[in-house]
Amino acid sequence: MISHSLAAVIMAAGQGKRMKNPDKAKVMNTLGGIPLVHHVVTLARTMGCERIIAIVGHQRQNVISYLRKATPEVEIAIQDVQLGTAHAVQQAVPILHDFSGDIVILSGDAPLTRPETMMAALTKHREIQAAVTVLTAVLPDPSGYGRVLRDNDGRILRIVEHKDATENELRVREINSGIYLFRKEPLFAALNNITNDNAQGEYYLPDVFALFAQQGLPMLPFQVESFDELRGVNTVEQLQEMERLYASLSHTARA
């Protein structure tokens, strides 16, 4: 019997060096006066997640103190050293060992993803019983983003990080958002087989796609029309741009 339970893992460990404030975790920067991570917790709640785990690292005590006060239902996993996105998710494995169902991976610095988009992706994910569903977008300039590589039938072959991509792969304009839906069992099994043999020397979560392809597991790309929903914050300028988007969206919602 397939479980329709849902848990969320929120990636909130990053330092955000380009935010120019080493004393503040990136996810504690505010949008509309609310920390970025709180927006993402709200998304997980709206999706109906029964368990919400935040992976914290840089300046973690400030993040933990905030979450325990503002969103006490959120469970905490600590990534002492940031060794990559797969390593981050591994920190949630002991917490979710007794969980059965789907796991949504959310970025703590991507606060504009709409619940409607996530629920549509979740519906498709469950319809085809995908091992993984990834939110993607096609960009005029995909520089810096991981590329989604497909076969001639549109099926995902793998995802390659920008720094590891060949010249041909860099021409691909479909990017990986870093937002995923996984079935727990194949995800946890794959985490044990990811290596750090890449340009960054990190354990990349997108490496599960190549492993799933080898096993013939179904993988679903869910392409989002507006990249604004997937935007993350890496610089002060990006945060300022997101404030403008957020104000515009809030105004539209009130109109």
Give tens-digit pLDDT for 199-234: 889 999 999 999 999 999 999 999 999 999 999 999
Do 56 and 78 form a contact (C-beta atoms < 8 A)?
yes
Residue 18 annotated among the catalytic residues of the structure: yes
Tell me the average pLDDT across 30-54: 98
Q: What's residue 17's pLDDT?
A: 81
Tell me the average pLDDT across 170-186: 98
Confidence band for 80, pLDDT divided at 50, 70 and 90: very high
Question: What pLDDT, in 10s, does the model give residues 101-123?
Answer: 999 999 999 999 999 999 999 99
Q: Is pLDDT at 251 greater than 60 in this prediction?
A: no
Q: Is pLDDT at 255 greater than 60 in this prediction?
A: no
| Number of residues assigned to the chain | 255
Q: What's residue 15's pLDDT?
A: 82
Question: Around Cβ 234, how many Cβ atoms within 10 Å?
Answer: 16
Tell me the average pLDDT across 34-59: 97
Tell me the average pLDDT across 43-60: 97
Q: What's residue 104's pLDDT?
A: 98
- Domains of the chain (ranges; CATH) run 6-135+178-195+205-237 (3.90.550.10)
- Active-site position among 18, 68, 155, 171: 18
Q: What's residue 19's pLDDT?
A: 86
Average predicted confidence (pLDDT) for the chain: 94
Q: What's residue 123's pLDDT?
A: 98
Q: Burial of 231 by CB count in 10 Å (0-12 exposed, 13-18 middle, 19+ buried)? A: buried
Question: What pLDDT, in 10s, does the model give residues 145-171?
Answer: 999 999 999 999 999 999 999 999 999
